[in-house]
Amino acid sequence: MRLPVLLALLLLALPTHAADAPAAPKRIAVRAAKLIDTAQQRVIERPLVLVEGERIVSVAAGGEAPAGVDVIDLGTATLMPGFIDLHVHITGDPTSGSGNYYEDILKRSPIDEAVTAHVYAQRTLRAGFTTVRNVGSGEYIDVALARAIEHGKLQGPRILPSGLAIGATGGHIDGNTGFSPYLEFHNATGVADGVEAVRAKVRDNVKHGAEVIKFMAGAGVLSAEASVGAPQYTQEEMNAIVDESHRWGKRVAAHAHGAEAIRMAILAGVDSVEHASFIDDEGLRLAKQKGTWLVMDVYNDDYILAEYTRLGFPQQMIDKEKLVGRTQRESFRRAVRAGVRLGYGTDAGVYPHGDNRKQFPKMVEWGMTPMQALRAATSDAAQLLGWEDKVGSVAAGRYADLVAVSGDPLADIHALDAAPVFVMKGGEVVVGDGR
C-alpha cells in the first residue's frame, strides 16, 4: 500500500509546482513625440518602444501598441537612451561634511560613507543616469552598493565599481600625505609601489569585486601633494598595472592631468585617461592613434570655485583647481577638433550627485554638437565600457533604460537643465509614468 500512497502524494504536489511557475514578464509600450537614436545619429518621430520585462523588444516609428500592453504616453517629451556617467565617486558628496576638511578626515570614517551612499545612488538614477562607472571608493563600498542595487535591495544605477584606486606613496590617493608621521590611518588602501606590488594590488581589487581598475598616473587637485599633474608612477609600474588588469579581463582608467603622465598612461595601454587637463599635441596624437578614450570633467570647475571655500576645503586645493579649469576646457575643445574618442564623465562626488547632466551644456559650449554630447553619454560611453550589447542605445535586446525630457536637446542642449520627466531602468519606471 505504500507505493500507491506515495504516488498519490506526488500527484497532489504537481498543481503546487505549476502555481509556482514564474509569471510572464510585464509588457509596456512607451510613446513620445520623438526619440533621439544616438547610436544611429537620427531622430525617430512618434516612436513606440515595446518593453518586455527588463529588455527592449522593438522600436518603431508610429504604430499602435499590441493588445493588452500597458501604454505610457509621454506626449511632447523627447525620449533618449538612459545616460551613462563614466567617472563618478558615488559613495561621497562635498556637502556631506562639517565644513572643516581636516576635522572630517579625523572624525569621520568609511562607515559614514557606507550609510549614505544609497542616497547619492538614488539621486543619480532619478537624474536619468542609469549606468555609472565608479572610479575610486574606500573600503570597497562601491562594490557592496553595486551588489545591493543589482539584487533589488536599493534603488540606483548599474554600477561598475573599481574598489580602491591604486596610487603611489605620497601621491594623489595617499591619505596620510601632509599629516604627522606618527598619525596612523587603519583603513584599506590602494597605495602600492613597485611592479610586483601594483600587480598584487590589481589582483586584490579583482578578488574583492572590482569591475574596472583605476590608478593614479599623476598628481591631482583635491589632495595635499604640491603638483597638480606630475607623473607619480614609473613607466614600468604603469605597464604592469595595465598588463595585470587586462590579464584579468578588466579595463583600466588612469587619472592624469599633466601631459607627461597622460603620455605615459597611453603608452602603457590604458583604456581611458581621466581629466586629461594639460594634454598636448603629442598626447592627442597618441590617443587617436591607439584609440584611447579621454574622459574630461569640464563642468565641475564651476562648482569647485564657487563652493569649495564655503565648504571648508584647503586653499591649496582651490588654487590648484584655478590652474586646471580653463586649460582643461581648452584641451577638451582641441580634443574634439582632433577627433579623439571622448566619453561623458563628470567626477560627480566632487560636486553634488544628481547634477550630472549639468555637463552637457559645457561640452557643447566647448566644441561638441548636441548629438556628440549625447552620444558621449550613451552609445559612445557604452563602447568604452564594453557594454554595447546592454546599454547606451534604444534597440531590441538592450536593457530598457530610457530617459525623457521636455523640449528637444538637439535644438537646445539646455533642455537637459531641468530634471527628466521620465526615467526607466531595466523596465522599471523610476520617474513619471506619463498617464
Q: Does residue 320 share a domain with residue 207?
A: yes
pTM of the model: 0.93
Query: What CATH number does residue 46 fall under?
Result: 2.30.40.10
Overall domain count for the chain: 2
Residue 46 lies in a domain: yes
Give me the sheet containing 42-45, strands edge to edge.
42-45, 34-37, 78-81, 402-405, 422-425, 428-431
Residue 99 has a pLDDT of 78
d(CA 335, CA 37): 24
Could you give the 3-state DSSP secondary structure of residue 347? coil
Residue 9 lies in a domain: no
What parts of the chain have a pLDDT lower than 70?
A: 1-22, 433-435
Residue 10 has a pLDDT of 44
d(CA 419, CA 423): 10
Exposure of 71 in the CB half-sphere (CA atoms within 13 A): 12
Q: Does residue 370 share a domain with residue 401?
A: no
Q: Does residue 349 share a domain with residue 213?
A: yes
Residues 235-247, buried b or exposed e (16+ Cβ, 10 A)?
eebbbbbbebbbe
Q: Does residue 91 share a domain with residue 50?
A: no
Query: Domain range holding 183?
Result: 83-385
Contact criterion met (CB below 8 Å) for 31 and 73: yes
Q: Does residue 285 share a domain with residue 353?
A: yes
Torsions phi, psi of 146, nearest 5? -60, -45
Residue 223 has a pLDDT of 86
Q: Does residue 309 share a domain with residue 212?
A: yes
Could you give the maximum distance between any two Cα atoms of the chain, in Å? 90
Q: Does residue 93 share a domain with residue 70?
A: no
Residue 106 has a pLDDT of 76
The C-alpha R_g of the chain, in whole angstroms, comes to: 24
Residue 400 lies in a domain: yes
Query: What CATH number does residue 355 fall under?
Result: 3.20.20.140
Give me the sheet containing 70-73, strands edge to edge.
55-61, 47-52, 27-31, 70-73
Q: Does residue 113 share a domain with residue 50?
A: no
Match 597611453 to its residue by C-alpha cell. 266
CA distances from 386 to 105, 111, 122, 350 (A): 36, 32, 24, 26
